[in-house]
Amino acid sequence: MADMVPKPPSQPISAAPTASAPDNGVPSNPISGNILIIGAAGYIGKFVAEASLAAGRTTYKLCRTGSSSPSKAAAVQRLQESGAIVLHGSLDHVELIINLLKQYRIEIVISAVGGDAILDQLPLIDAINAAGSIKRFLPSEFGHDIDKANPIEPALTLYNQKRKIRRAIEAAGIPYTYICCNSIAGWPYFDQIHPSEIPPPTDCFEIYGDGNVKAYFVAGEDIGKFTIKAADDVRTLNKVLHFRPQNNFVTLNEFACMWEKKIGKVVPRKFISEDCLVRLAKENRIPSSIVAALTHDIFINGCQFAFEIDGPQDTEVGRLYPDSPLIPLSHCLDAYLSNGVGRAASI
């Protein structure tokens, strides 16, 4: 049967290496617990899984049998070749998940499921609570602080679902860390094109609002790296971890100028008004209307910086790991150039 509990790997599971002291010299927990990543074949999940493997963690990936697209199947294969161990099951099979957590001695669970599967984490929370062995749960966040941002619909419904997950975790007393990494370091196409799929434009910039509202842009590699660093750091226990790299805190106009310098030409600008984004959101076409609503919240409302992060439950990547700077946005753009987009020259 597809969802039967798989047999343990034939080779013994060796203890993971002991962690060195964190970058700022504050002692942390030794790296010892096995990690289960859900959604490891997705865009964010693959960065988290790769970082976990690079850190020497014993890394498991939950895979729903027969449900992956060819691209996700290829991603799973690459993770297996890198050392990830695939477990088969479904989040709605609570007893199965409980057995997997116990059988494979899982101590950290990281979820990176997509927006349409956010509420699928509710039975996962039940399983984690029943297993009683999980030392940290990182639910599917990887965006804005959903308790502090209030986008227009239909994005608000998505945020309310994520809030429901947070409250269920807290009510169950499960130790957690919420990862709020803000924007991915790629041009923010509002028409649901992910920044990983195509580079910043070379023919026309679509600028949202007046282009002068700032946002934080974070490389996918850094999202994975610092998620794994935080996963058993005592300083992130029951806290919200924010990514606010000041060298990546730019407006779209500044972003556009940076890219123009990279490709060696001036690119025309097309301004997308607030009214246009609101209209697109009201069309309620999923997922494009959600993306339009989130774009409105970022580049019209300024949701990423409209609050302080000095509360007792807030911490920030740069404060915790000052000797591990995040990848500059300029370097992220260089990656597009290395793939043959534009030309590296100054205007």
Positive or negative torsion for Cα 307, 188, 324, 21: positive
> Which residues, given as ranges, of the chain have pLDDT below 70?
1-32, 65-68, 192, 194, 196, 340-347
Residue type, 334: D
Q: Which residues are catalytic?
A: 162
Supply the pTM of this predicted model: 0.88
β-strands 215-218, 249-250 pairing:
antiparallel
Question: What is the per-residue pLDDT across 232-291, written as a single tens digit (0 to 9) for each?
Answer: 999 999 999 999 999 999 999 999 999 999 999 999 999 999 999 999 999 999 989 999
Spatial separation of the C-alpha atoms in residues 175 and 108, rounded to whole Å? 10
| CA 58 – CA 35 distance, rounded (Å) | 6
State how far the Cα of 211 lies from the Cα of 187, in Å rounded to an integer: 13
Which tokens belong to 291? 């993306």
Q: With beta carbons less than 8 A apart as the criterion, state whether 144 and 296 touch.
A: no
Tokens of 25: 């010299």
DSSP state of 176: B
**pLDDT on residue 201:** 93
- What pLDDT sits at residue 197? 72
Distance CA 339, CA 280 (A): 32
Q: What is the mean pLDDT of the chain?
A: 88
Distance, in Å, from the CA atom of 139 to the CA atom of 132, rounded to the nearest integer, reads 17
